[in-house]
């Protein structure tokens, strides 16, 4: 096994052999012992344990966020791109029998199609729309609220007219107000959105990194999307990798699965994830490790389940 490709211990990290960490990756649905409000340990120190758990399964659903996970955060969202080495590692996994990579993002499905390998499952708008190759699906409640969304976009546009650097992205079933690099601060943008939505009770606002999103008021988020994508069972494993606050729903949803599952945070903050990597480079190393060590080109794990 390649040593420590996803970051080793550093001063102050809770990642030594004696650290308390969740039991879920190695033992299936066992409850974690690390409180979810703490910063997860670095993944690099637990690869052997993770490999042991994954190698017992016949199928892996590998879910990843896009911005800040597969692609570095870009000042201009349109300029965001997956680095070539990350793209190669993801494509290699997509070719492996028993591995289903999936991108779960706040971006629109049409946007993801332009940026991600066509062999990868896509869940856009936090899973309100999905494309698994042979089937495409849109949440019916989201489609029904399109008229309300159009009105809200118009209202927000007027309220933020004094801030031309704010960009309102119409994503079909949701909308995102981007203010990275804009004169308006987050509080100003948030107030404008919430005031506009006071007349549209079927819509809600959620907040992310330098964005405010407008979405249908339905019980659906990245966690619901993950549960929809994962074929839960004894011979299945699930991994979710993400950096944003919206990815916490996915990390928490892993707790409800009966299969072996693990959440990986990109960054360094308190999280419900089990482990963390430093940045997109750590994601690349993790994907390469999966492709080279756990799911090599010679074939998938033998699925020889232990006791």
pLDDT 10s digits, 85-129: 999 999 999 999 999 999 999 999 999 999 999 899 999 999 999
**Which domains are present in the chain?**
38-131+220-294 (3.40.50.1000), 142-216 (3.30.70.1020)
pLDDT 10s digits, 137-167: 999 999 999 999 999 999 999 999 999 889 9
Active site residue 256: no
Q: Give the separation between CA 239 and CA 262, rounded to whole angstroms.
A: 5
Q: What is the pTM of this model?
A: 0.82
Q: Give the separation between CA 99 and CA 296, rounded to whole angstroms.
A: 11
Phi, psi for residue 172 in degrees, rounded to 5: 85, -70
Q: Which of 13, 23, 52, 65 is catalytic?
A: 65
Strands (E), 49-143: 59-64, 99-104, 121-124, 129-131, 136-138
Q: Are 68 and 269 in contact (CB under 8 A)?
A: no
Query: Quick one: which of 42, 47, 53 has its CA closest to 10?
Result: 42
User: Which H, E and C letters describe 26-74, residue by residue?
Assistant: HHCCCCCCCCCCCCCCEHHHHHHHHHHHHCCCCEEEEEECCECCCECCC
Which whole number is the average pLDDT over 42-60? 94
**Per-residue DSSP letters for 276-294?**
EESSHHHHHHHHHHIIIII
Paired residues of 290 in beta bridges:
none
């Amino acid at each position: 096994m390649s040593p420590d490709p996803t970051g080793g211990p550093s001063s102050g990290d809770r990642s030594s052999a004696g650290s308390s960490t969740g039991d879920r990756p190695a033992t299936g649905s066992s409850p974690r012992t690390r409180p979810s409000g703490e910063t997860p340990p670095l993944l690099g120190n637990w690869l052997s344990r993770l490999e042991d758990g994954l190698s017992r399964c016949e199928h892996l659903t590998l879910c990843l966020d896009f911005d800040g996970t597969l692609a570095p955060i870009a000042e201009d969202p349109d300029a965001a791109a997956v680095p070539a080495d990350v793209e190669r590692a993801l494509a290699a996994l997509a070719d492996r029998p028993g591995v289903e990579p999936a991108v779960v993002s706040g971006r629109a499905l049409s946007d993801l199609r332009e940026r991600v390998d066509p062999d990868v499952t896509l869940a856009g708008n936090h899973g309100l729309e999905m494309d698994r190759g042979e089937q495409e699906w849109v949440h019916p409640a989201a489609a029904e609220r399109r008229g309300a969304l159009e009105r809200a976009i118009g209202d927000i546009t007027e309220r933020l007219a004094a801030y031309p650097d704010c960009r309102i992205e119409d994503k079909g079933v949701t909308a995102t107000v981007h203010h990275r690099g804009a004169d308006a601060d987050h509080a100003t943008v948030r107030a404008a959105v919430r005031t506009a939505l006071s007349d549209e009770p079927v819509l809600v606002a959620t907040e992310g990194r330098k964005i405010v999103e407008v979405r249908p008021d339905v019980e659906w988020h990245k966690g619901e999307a993950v549960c929809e994508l994962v074929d839960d069972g004894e011979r299945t494993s699930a991994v979710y990798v993400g950096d944003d606050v919206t990815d916490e729903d996915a990390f928490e949803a892993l707790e409800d699965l009966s299969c072996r599952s693990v959440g990986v945070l990109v960054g360094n903050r308190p999280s419900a994830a089990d482990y963390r990597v430093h940045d997109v480079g750590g994601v690349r190393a993790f994907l390469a490790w999966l492709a080279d060590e756990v799911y090599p080109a010679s074939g998938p794990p033998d699925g020889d389940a232990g006791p």
